Structure 1
Amino acid sequence: MKRTISFMTGKGSVNHNSRKFHAKNTDPERSCLNVEYCNENVKDVYHELFDEALTRYNEKQTRSDRRIDDYYEKIRSGKQEKPFHEIIVQIGDKDNMGAKTEDGQLAAKVLDEYMQGFRQRNPTLRVFAAYLHMDEATPHLHIDFIPYTTGSKRGLDTRVSLKQALSALGFKGGTRRETELNQWVAYEKEQLAAVMLEHGIEWEKKGTHEKHLSVLDFEKKERAKEVAELEARKVELQEENATFQEINEDLHEQLLQVDDEIRSLQEDLQESRQEAEKAQKQADKYQKRMNELAPMVKNMEKLAADFSADPEQTLPEAAVMESAKSYREKKAKPLVKKIVQVMRSVYSAYLDISNKFTKLQAAYNRERSGNERLTSRLEEVLEENRELRIVAVDFGRIKAVVGSEQVNAVINRAKQQEQIEGEQKRAARRKHNREAR
């Protein structure tokens, strides 16, 4: 027995697939024979896959307009990626594998076995809805999945990407006909063919000279192939465009961050200069006051000591009309005590002003040193800004001259090389740690 394999792209109508409503081509009486493998809400699966990566991405954003509130809505409303993909898998057709026939039952069994291994083979294609339909003319599978990649260096580190998801499975793009998607479809057909063969069904690979097709059917099939190729190419171009968009966004983000740092440094520098000027003015004020007090306090401490040591030697004797004892006790000693207090108070004020001046001078020196460091950093950041803008312009030139496909290939090779080198370094560290123990 020979049968064809059909691998088509579906529209992804989850409500139709789960039979929340019936189309004209379905038989509700046979819907009980359908098999539901899984039926998860696509938005819930988005939260499961991308919430942690979204949090990490948003935490790194310095601008609120760069944050992503709802990743599913961003993908759904964007033009780079589809929120999810659907494939429809069928063996034979209604004439040789009708759902009501024994061969149709055999087809259902083969498709069921194929489905059991689909998720294990394709870990980067997160299946959230899958059905085997037996209530239409021919048994067939609907498989809805979200393709995603991890470890991305641009945008979310875990993000939606059909091209990268298939690349992680080992399907590398080549010519226009040999895209990642085409290679993956061909591989999955081989997997289905292997299951078919176990049940005595050979894969009938029809070429371009199918005699049993009418001219109109043949032309329709050829147009369908062309549409499929164009659709695959569209997906590939969208992936490439997404890559360049992410690179451009990354460069733009770096430029914005540098601009923010420049503004912050300029503000800090201005504030530091104002503080330095304020400190200098205050220091000048205390310097002026110190200069005024300097002649007054010169030898003041010595005078205070002389007066306080033996006032009797300094003061004259009492007048004739007043006894010496009375003069010294009631007038001389209190006067000397007050003079000493005034002298010490003036000297203490002088020391206080002198200390404040010293502290202000140190503060001024610190601010001046900070100014020099900020000025130096500002010059470095301005130079980084100029270099980033040159890189952005040069990248645009390379893209225009070399072409998107070649640049994308170079970027992918560089990523792969970085991953290989990173793994080699980690392996070397692990080996070193084991030997050290």
Structure 2
Amino acid sequence: MTIPEGKTIEKKDYLKKTFTTRNSFFSDIFRLREYADSSHTNLYYSYLRTFLIGFTNFTLEEFIKRGVLANILLLIISFFTIFYTLNKYYTLSNYLSLTLAFTYTILPGSISNLLFIRPYQLQTTCLLIFHLFFLSLNSERGNNSLKTILFIISLTSLFLSGYFSLLYLTIFYIVFFLRTKQFHHLKYLMAAFLLTLFIYPSFFTPLVGMRGQEVASNLILGRNLFQSKSWSFLLEFMLSSLATLIIVFVSFKERSKKLLPIQIGLVATLFLIIFIAPYQEMRYLNPYLIATSTLAPIAIKLIPRNWTFIAITIFITSSFFTSQIENDNQDIYNQKRDFLKDIKHLLILGMKDEPRSHRTFSQIILHLPRGSKVSYYSFAKNVDFNKFDGYCFYNKNAQASRLHKTDKLLQINSILCKRKKDFKNL
């Protein structure tokens, strides 16, 4: 959408132009295809955008409901995927498979993914579906065109679900090729790779940008594991690591060629993410922790009877401690709400015409009180700042340099928001 230069529009009209029309939906999907987000691929935002068609009740609460509803659908798909995988390929009974599938969907990580409107629930679902179709493709002899197509689609979806999937799939296929010598999977990888680039041509652009540089820096310095963490965190980390290693190493007794890449890939990815994730938050680990948990039944079944109680105790204890690791998402939400609650007329200065800008400013505008107004100007020149209660602008916008008079600000991505009451002699 294009905001009229110098025109004041109501908050509800801005959001209506952004979300409700069918034409804006197709336009947004097309633009998401071309635009490279520095943090996430476009698959989740395209998926979420479909849940905002006809979005007319423009409140933050309603927007959250739509986002959570989108994640609930993914969680339901994950539930049935886990159930079918455990029942069909881990040869567990219907009752046990159903119980474990339900347990995995109420883990703290699952609930966190459900309530956080970001791609992490999608990553979990795509990872579980990929495992299901991988086991299906490699468990029966003979070529099946439908299974091959479904596997390529699941592989493409995993590519598009998030950038950490590249790390996982690299480890996964190194182990798979060394273990099985089934190099015909290279053509599946090539097909998925080409399909990924067709759907999202800018897929690899962020890997050489700011986020890619952060990952490289974190990996070299290893700072994410120990920096600013207490001894209690290190205890939680060690307990979780011990539980994970018990699950995997014991399950190695099965010596299954089809499970070994999954086992090694998941655990190696978990430990690498700890070092390279841009922020020290559990949301990056949750998809792989949940997938790793599905290996627990194999481990428990193979552990000697006299060790079963100890192993289960360690696993439950580590799950509890892991759930206690702090997540500041609620604090960020409260910060946005409290900062913007008194702004009746917001100035947007120098917004770029790109999907990420619209998404970020929509996120800001959703937090404004009912009845608020929004005005847009390309440059600060000839703008009467006294007409506005708050200002949002790009941090590197030279035209907005006069606004840097206070440290009291709200930063969302590369956008800064300030309130008139925090300024002196404006």
TM tier relative to shorter chain: under 0.3
Larger radius of gyration: 1
The two structures have a TM-score, normalised by structure 1, of: 0.20
The two structures have a TM-score, normalised by structure 2, of: 0.21
